[in-house]
A and B are shown apart, each in its own frame.
Chain A
Amino acid sequence: MRRILSILLENEPGALSRIVGLFSQRAYNIDSLTVGTTDDQTLSRITITTHGDDRVVEQITKQVNKLVDVLKVQDLTEVQHIERELLLVKVYARDETMRAAVTRIADVYQGAIIDMGKQSYTLQLLSSSEKIESFLDMLRHESDIIELVRSGAVGIGRGDKALRA
């Protein structure tokens, strides 16, 4: 089962490598990973999407928590949350039919065409990872993907509760 883990940790050199190292050392999966600073300059926040059965995910959470640099770990999938990922994708748009089809897909998914070349469109979509998959499926159906980049998911819990120091 897919999980989104939010990790608050000390903004120290090497802290990220301890997280990444832990996953490879213990043969856990990383489907995506993003990292950035927070409003508190001393803390970074990492979002990792991973998958595994309950036992594995429990171990992952405990092992991450055990790292000395880690302040808090939250499994977002256990709570009401919002998830976003940014996709940038370049597709062929050689003729009018193809361009129209790509434009229509972008409209339906509320994505945007943000650049164009003689033969291509570059699109952006900010959405859940699941919706991005569906968007890409449609694009593949109507055109060909030339280049693709995904930011990895970030997430935040709903309501007033916050993950902070």
Chain B
Amino acid sequence: MVQTQFNGSELVVKALKALEVEYIFGYPGGSVLDLYDALFQQSDIEHVLVRHEQAATHMADGYARATGEVGVVLATSGPGATNCITGIATAYMDSIPMVVLSGQVPSNLIGDDAFQETDIVGCSRPIVKHSFNCRSAEEIPTVLAKAFYLANSGRPGPVVVELPKDILNPQLKFNFNMPNQIEMRTYNPSVKGHGKQIKKAVEAILNAKRLVIYSGGGVVLSDTSDKLKELVETLNAPITNTLMGLGGISGTHPNFIGMLGMHGSVEANKAMANADVILALGARFDDRVTNNVKKFCPNATIVHVDVDPTSISKTIKAHIPVVGCLATVFEQLLSAINASSERIDRAAQEVWWEEITKWRAQKCLAYETNPEVLKPQTVIEKVYNITNGDAYVCSDVGQHQMFAAQYYPFKNPRQWINSGGLGTMGFGLPAAMGVKMAFPENEVLCVTGDGSIQMNIQELSTCLQYGLAVKIISLNNRSLGMVRQWQDMQYGGRHSSSYMESLPDFVALAESYGHIGIKVDRPDQLDEALKKAFSIKDRLVFLDIRVDEKEHVYPMQIKLGAIDDMWLKKGVKA
């Protein structure tokens, strides 16, 4: 007999299947036991059991960043749900499509301070794109369809769905009605750029003498890097990427002038400061880019394209705002440029490129090596070489994150995965696991440090259970390196709580979790260790690499200065 009636838990599973979900990252508990029972009795969706719910959110997040699909999390009510908060905020800040299914106490107990009750919709309200309190089993398919639609349309973001225990009750059966199409009268993410604005934008671009294209995470999220490349090459414009936008254009493209912002390249920040027209694409003029907004690029006409109107003129006034989905706006810009009778002033552009070449000649990423002490930059460069620049690089947060961004040129979008907006330590390992789940054949790295890795190190256990052969590249400086750097530069070298005493033996730790650990103490051991590590394809390898604890990340913007006021190295201004 064909089943035509389903309980609430089965409705959740059926809806997720209809939404083409392959993986759920989660952790069971009292309020979601019925749902876990329904998951147990099917094989289309794989549930990945983490060791801490925060890691489930980062895994789903890494999976979403690498694939462009919605990452799905399942947690129980109360502590399970609150443990997701950091991961939800991380996804929110970087506009990552994610749906978090949270259990809740039965409806008749809500508000009674019942066991493991938390108002998770309330707790997460400031850090979600939207949230739903599911109030009946019948509405589950519609709510989930809406949640997925919201999470991955317009400016993507996390959506929380609260499921009270009583609506998951296996005894009560309902029909399954999955909506074919979702329409919401209050939600219409605008797609097409306004014709007049496109015209103005193209006029400004074609009349520019010192144009810079500044692209962000929006290009990566909208899968429009091909269009970006076409635009860059049509205009022969210099292009810089934000931290979130790296890979939007290949890091080896001749027009790429590096990342901009706090630890951006001198040439990128100088080009921005001296530009007469800035074309911002899917970027949001974050404070880590602009430095002092009052001194920001005073002579530039700013053309700002974004799908989210709130990003436009939030921190920096846009002279020519264009609200629209990048996929469409790129087409509009390209066809308007081709149709225009105006042409770029190639002579002026040549002068502009000469100027940029001079800034490039400062070689702002050059650093001094030492035969006794390994430099973190060297590690990233060698990892780049041995992976042929093809690996997925998932980073934690701190100095190692900046070194990875600077010294590993990314060929492709979605190859660089890091918590840019929230800056969440502990993100790297679970994110790498989520990527490895999606792309088991690819090399997936977690670039981390001795501080960050310990914030979700329990997931080494999950890696063993699911055979996730991630490479952990831990730049061990026995310090919270970025904190220490700021203390060196701004607090007279007083290292308040920024050093790690009693670090574990990471090699032994990795081995106790059933993985392979390799220690590197000296520069001359690095090549051999990397060779060994990268010859292993089916096991997780933890590389504990001792690097110089005194090293600082340069270049670095000078506090309160203009975008291009930078330290090139200790005591030397760019």
Within 8 A of B (CB), among A67-86: 68-71
Docked-complex contact A10 and B313, CB < 8 angstroms: no
A9 contacts which chain B residues (CB < 8 A)? Answer: 186
B184 contacts which chain A residues (CB < 8 A)? Answer: 68
Q: Which of B123-131, B246-254, B277-285, B426-434 lies at the interface?
A: B123-131
A165 contacts which chain B residues (CB < 8 A)? Answer: 185
Docked-complex contact A68 and B126, CB < 8 angstroms: no
Within 8 A of A (CB), among B154-209: 184-187
A59 contacts which chain B residues (CB < 8 A)? Answer: 310, 313-314
Interface size on A, residues (CB 8 A): 20
Per the bound structure, the CA–CA distance linking A59 and B187 in Å amounts to 18
In the complex, per-residue mask of B293-329: 1 if CB is within 8 Å of any chain A CB, else 0: 0000000000000001110011001000000000000
A70 contacts which chain B residues (CB < 8 A)? Answer: 186
Docked-complex contact A68 and B129, CB < 8 angstroms: yes
Closest chain B CB from A158 CB (angstroms): 26
B525 contacts which chain A residues (CB < 8 A)? Answer: none
In the complex, per-residue mask of A1-44: 1 if CB is within 8 Å of any chain B CB, else 0: 00000000110011001100100010000000000000000000
Docked-complex contact B187 and A68, CB < 8 angstroms: yes
Docked-complex contact B313 and A71, CB < 8 angstroms: no
Most buried by A among B125, B129, B317: B125
Docked-complex contact A13 and B126, CB < 8 angstroms: no
Within 8 A of A (CB), among B84-131: 121-122, 125-126, 129-131
Nearest chain A residue, comparing its CB with the CB of B187: A68
With A59-B310, A66-B308 in contact, do A17 and B186 touch (Cβ < 8 Å)?
no
Nearest chain A residue, comparing its CB with the CB of B150: A68
Docked-complex contact A21 and B186, CB < 8 angstroms: no
A133 contacts which chain B residues (CB < 8 A)? Answer: none
Per the bound structure, the CA–CA distance linking A13 and B132 in Å amounts to 10
Does B133 sit at the interface, judged by CB under 8 A?
Answer: yes
Docked-complex contact B310 and A18, CB < 8 angstroms: no
Docked-complex contact B186 and A71, CB < 8 angstroms: yes
With A21-B125, A25-B126 in contact, do A14 and B133 touch (Cβ < 8 Å)?
yes
With A14-B133, A18-B125, A21-B125 in contact, do A69 and B310 touch (Cβ < 8 Å)?
no
Closest chain B CB from A60 CB (angstroms): 10
Does A62 sit at the interface, judged by CB under 8 A?
Answer: yes
A13 contacts which chain B residues (CB < 8 A)? Answer: 133
Closest chain B CB from A65 CB (angstroms): 7
Per the bound structure, the CA–CA distance linking A105 and B308 in Å amounts to 51
Nearest chain A residue, comparing its CB with the CB of B135: A13
A66 contacts which chain B residues (CB < 8 A)? Answer: 308-310
Docked-complex contact A21 and B309, CB < 8 angstroms: no
B125 contacts which chain A residues (CB < 8 A)? Answer: 14, 17-18, 21
Docked-complex contact A63 and B310, CB < 8 angstroms: yes
Does A58 sit at the interface, judged by CB under 8 A?
Answer: yes
Docked-complex contact A68 and B186, CB < 8 angstroms: yes
Q: Of A10, A14, A58, A63, which one neighbours B186 at CB under 8 angstroms?
A: A10
Nearest chain A residue, comparing its CB with the CB of B323: A62
Does A55 sit at the interface, judged by CB under 8 A?
Answer: yes
Interface residues of B (CB under 8 A from A): 121-122, 125-126, 129-131, 133, 150, 184-187, 308-310, 313-314, 317
Q: Identify 26 residue pairs between A and B in the complex whose beta-carbon atoms are under 8 Å apart, listed by A's number.
A: A9-B186, A10-B186, A14-B125, A14-B131, A17-B122, A17-B125, A18-B125, A21-B125, A21-B126, A55-B313, A59-B310, A59-B313, A62-B310, A65-B309, A66-B308, A66-B309, A66-B310, A68-B130, A68-B150, A68-B184, A68-B186, A68-B187, A69-B130, A70-B186, A71-B185, A165-B185
Interface residues of A (CB under 8 A from B): 9-10, 13-14, 17-18, 21, 25, 55, 58-59, 62-63, 65-66, 68-71, 165
- List 13 additional contacts besides A14-B121, A17-B122, A18-B125; criterion CB under 8 Å: A14-B131, A14-B133, A17-B125, A21-B126, A55-B313, A55-B317, A58-B313, A59-B313, A59-B314, A62-B310, A66-B309, A69-B186, A71-B186
